[in-house]
Amino acid sequence: MDIRLNGRRGSTAWRVLDRTEIWTDRRKEFRASSLPFCPRAFWLDKKLQPASRRSFTDEVRLWRGHGIHDCLQYWMGQAGILFGDWECTICKRSLGADYVIHDMLGPPGQCPHHGATLRYREYELDYEGLTGHPDGLTPDEADAGAFSLLEFKTLQHRGYKGSSYPDWLTIKKPYEPHIEQANAYACMVQELKGFRITQVLIWYVSIDRPSWAPKIFEFEPDWERFQRHLDVIREIENQDLDGLPPVCDPDAKSPFCIFADAGYCSMRSRDLQRHLREQEP
């Protein structure tokens, strides 16, 4: 048997896969996972309506994180330390209806129709236009009737040199957008579900060594910090697309902002307005 490494046919298939992209016209949304919001980025998104790209490698990173989240939720449920909604994933496909047990502490048991172990279903939250789905709640063992909000994050065990994104080995404090996201969830859960949240827990799990204990950071919910994001949402909703572009917020700058690559973030408002007018057909 002649075994070859990186033969022509296999390499050709990989190159085709690696170059395949899907472009969509999906616009920016007020999702807690995208906090903090930059008013200029939203203004440019509405003004220019750029297409966004998806690829195989983008999806692999996304699905890998989802898989670790799902596994954590399943086993925390079995351990009896995860609180929330539990559903049968088979019922909707086979019966056309949901089977859900609401607001229960695991272990969740089994579906009476299929015998399948119930899976965790994250709360879908919508507070004044801000949406999101927290990873879970766990009882506060020091305060009966209260909960800690859980937010799971997956990181490369060792990052790439020069990367602006933290890795598991070197992270010493939570990534700022993760603080804003988790704090928003804690405030939204209290307002929408009525549960008392005393702590926010951000778990950083190593993608490459998930059996290692996560790095866990905790803090108390901060309503004033959350309210600032609601104020920014109102500002964005009332933007005048024919007026001056808003100032780029350096504290809300994302390393993945497509407008930064185009140089639009650093321009003065009048210079950017003039530049966009020159680009109009």
Helical segments of the chain, H only: 8-19, 39-48, 56-78, 91-95, 176-193, 223-237, 258-261, 269-279
- pLDDT beyond 80 at 277: yes
Residue 165 has pLDDT above 80, yes or no: no
pLDDT band at 162 (very low <50, low <70, confident <90, very high): low
- Biggest alpha carbon–alpha carbon distance for the chain: 70
Question: Contact 94/120 with Cβ under 8 angstroms?
Answer: no
Q: Decide if pLDDT at 73 tops 90.
A: yes
pLDDT at 265: 84
23-27, 99-103, 106-110: least confidently modelled range: 23-27
Which tens digits make up the pLDDT trace of 195-223? 999 999 999 999 989 889 999 999 999 99
- Amino acid identity of residue 228, one-letter, is R
Q: What is the pLDDT of residue 122?
A: 98
In CATH, the number for domain 33-39+53-78+122-241 is: 3.90.320
- 81 Cβ neighbours under 8 A, 6+ residues apart: 105, 106, 138, 139
- CA torsion through residues 43, 46, 49, 53, sign: positive
Selected residue with higher pLDDT from 272 and 131: 131
24-41 burial string, b = 16+ CB within 10 Å, else e?
A: eeeebebebebbbbbbbb
| Phi, psi for residue 107 in degrees, rounded to 5 | -75, 145
Question: pLDDT by residue (tens digit) across 28-52?
Answer: 899 999 999 999 999 999 998 888 7
How far, in Å, CA of 188 to CA of 208, rounded? 32
Q: What pLDDT is attached to residue 211? A: 87
More confident residue, 144 or 9: 144
The residue ranges of every structural domain in the chain are 33-39+53-78+122-241
Average pLDDT, the chain: 90
pLDDT at res. 174: 94
pLDDT at residue 225 greater than cutoff 80: yes
Query: pTM value?
Result: 0.90
Per-residue model confidence (pLDDT) at position 196:
98
